[in-house]
Copies of this chain bind each other. A is one copy, B any other.
């Protein structure tokens, strides 16, 4: 092709757009609902045209993506999302991924449960693999859930904080769908193990896993500025996961207060760490490490904040300006062809992203954020 590339706005153009459109919109406090919906559809269309996985189409990357697609359908009722959900589920034969001991491998079932609870056609979704996974994951001891092996990094079932997005919201939705709240008790036990091991009660943030928890030793992992390593996406998994759980936990659930408080405490801390351009850096306490916005963590935070306003758990006057600023900036990370850029690749700690870097779970975070932002505009 001899025409100039149509795929990307360059940084300069983004700055111009930001001034002329996004900037004004934010200055005026206005976001356009139809524009957000169109951006979301464009993100879906681009992602569906660019299938990707780490291990298989049923893996956690698609789990997070299709959770975003499900949330987008819930918010808009646009059948384009439902068509994508059904097509993916059908092609997956409604299977989870393989490792029954691994929270990642049940994340895809959030979308299956959503389809089963939403689609009028009965019997289309086969929930048997989901049921089998959840029952074995929670109730059949393995080398991770067996406390006899205490001590190492992987000595609990959900030993990395991402797991708190991958499994608990699915278990919560499954309990709601089946009406069997005993699943919540089993879940809470494992959640508390992660909380006790990884939650930093001073910072109100989660270490990604035990390697990043300070022990007072000289060997503790540190940022160049001497601070603790708190990964943006890692905390995004937790905070977004909490919002998803809180939506579906019974109002009289015994430990609901615990999850509400954790969600509010984390949100308050995350709010302080937002950069002035509206996006969070990959290293929360060392923004200078990679000093640019990153979309997956920022998308999950934006979702969680907007959800909290929409559901009365966060103060609108405090969080709304942050949400507007964040969405405006997230939208500027989307290419004209729909690609959601500035997504940190698969990893376990802060790494840089770029305008072109993308991943399905980044698109999922974008869709989750947009889904709550448009509901916010209805208020």
List the 5 shortest-distance A-B pairs measured between CB atoms, nearest first. Answer: A52-B83, A5-B38, A2-B21, A2-B17, A2-B22
From A40-48, A175-183, A255-263, give the one contacting chain B: A40-48
By the criterion CB–CB under 8 Å, are B334 and A1 in contact? yes
Q: A80 on the interface (CB 8 Å rule)?
A: yes
Q: A332 on the interface (CB 8 Å rule)?
A: yes
By the criterion CB–CB under 8 Å, are B45 and A49 in contact? yes
> Which residues of B have CB within 8 Å of A336?
1, 3
Chain B's nearest CB lies how many Å from the CB of A227?
29
| CB under 8 Å from chain B, chain A span 40-97 | 41-42, 45, 48-57, 79-80, 83, 86-87, 90
Chain B's nearest CB lies how many Å from the CB of A344?
13
Contact of A48 among B35, B49, B121, B332 (CB under 8 A): B49
A interface bracket (residues with beta carbon within 8 Å of B): 35 or more
Contact with B along A14-46 (1 / 0, CB 8 A): 000110011000000000001100110110010
Q: A4 on the interface (CB 8 Å rule)?
A: yes
Contact of A54 among B3, B4, B121 (CB under 8 A): B121
> Which residues of B have CB within 8 Å of A124?
55
| CB under 8 Å from chain B, chain A span 118-144 | 121, 124
By the criterion CB–CB under 8 Å, are B83 and A1 in contact? no
Contact of A42 among B1, B48, B52, B335 (CB under 8 A): B1
Chain B's nearest CB lies how many Å from the CB of A1?
5
> Which residues of B have CB within 8 Å of A42?
1, 7
Q: A331 on the interface (CB 8 Å rule)?
A: yes
- So how many copies of this chain end up in the complex? 3
Chain B's nearest CB lies how many Å from the CB of A49?
6
> Which residues of B have CB within 8 Å of A79?
52, 345
- Compute how far the CA of A287 lies from the CA of B57 in the bound complex, rounded to whole angstroms: 46
Q: A52-B86, A53-B83 are known contacts; what are 8 more A-B pairs with Cβ within 8 Å?
A: A1-B35, A2-B17, A2-B332, A7-B38, A48-B49, A50-B80, A54-B121, A55-B124
> Which residues of B have CB within 8 Å of A39?
1
- Compute how far the CA of A345 lies from the CA of B77 in the bound complex, rounded to whole angstroms: 13
By the criterion CB–CB under 8 Å, are B55 and A2 in contact? no
Task: Write 13 A-B pairs (CB below 8 A) sorted by A numbering.
Answer: A1-B38, A1-B42, A1-B331, A1-B334, A3-B17, A48-B50, A50-B80, A52-B83, A52-B87, A53-B90, A54-B121, A55-B121, A55-B124
- Compute how far the CA of A336 lies from the CA of B6 in the bound complex, rounded to whole angstroms: 10
Chain B's nearest CB lies how many Å from the CB of A306?
19
By the criterion CB–CB under 8 Å, are A53 and B87 in contact? yes
- Compute how far the CA of A18 lies from the CA of B1 in the bound complex, rounded to whole angstroms: 10
By the criterion CB–CB under 8 Å, are B2 and A331 in contact? yes
Closest to A332 in B: B2
> Which residues of B have CB within 8 Å of A41?
7
Chain B's nearest CB lies how many Å from the CB of A256?
38
Contact of A86 among B53, B90, B121 (CB under 8 A): B53
| CB under 8 Å from chain B, chain A span 279-295 | none
| CB under 8 Å from chain B, chain A span 320-339 | 331-332, 334-336, 338
By the criterion CB–CB under 8 Å, are A4 and B83 in contact? no
| CB under 8 Å from chain B, chain A span 332-370 | 332, 334-336, 338, 345
- Compute how far the CA of A90 lies from the CA of B57 in the bound complex, rounded to whole angstroms: 9
Closest to A123 in B: B55
By the criterion CB–CB under 8 Å, are A4 and B35 in contact? yes
Closest to A328 in B: B2
By the criterion CB–CB under 8 Å, are B1 and A56 in contact? no
> Which residues of B have CB within 8 Å of A335?
1
Contact of A51 among B7, B56, B87 (CB under 8 A): B87
